[in-house]
Structure 1
Amino acid sequence: MKRDTSQQTLITAVFEASNAALDRLTHLVPDIDRDRCEYALATLLLEEAWVVGR
């Protein structure tokens, strides 16, 4: 199976993962700022993907 490693695909997957994580997190912390947390999680995941891809 060939993996599609285009930047757009990676960014989309990262934001989907961070959004899913936030859905679960908001049950624990309902007052959380979703936009800031989504950006922070996406940034972390993109950095991890960059390190793994090096």
Structure 2
Amino acid sequence: MKKIEAIIRPFKLDEVKEALIEAGIKGLTITEVRGYGRQKGHTETYRGSEYR
């Protein structure tokens, strides 16, 4: 089993769902999220390297 997370625009949802069904994906969880503009992100340090 694999988990795939994606953020897609609402108007693309039907197209993405149809493509997943055609690819044999049977389960799907949808959550609405909201954001504002472009954010600089959050930086983490792991073993001396920075990740955004």
TM-score calculated relative to the size of structure 1 = 0.33
**Which is bigger in relative contact order (C-alpha 8 A, separation at least 6)?**
1
TM-score (norm 2): 0.33
Q: Which has the higher strand share?
A: 2
Decide which structure has the larger Cα Rg and report it. Answer: 2
Question: Larger helix proportion, structure 1 or 2?
Answer: 1
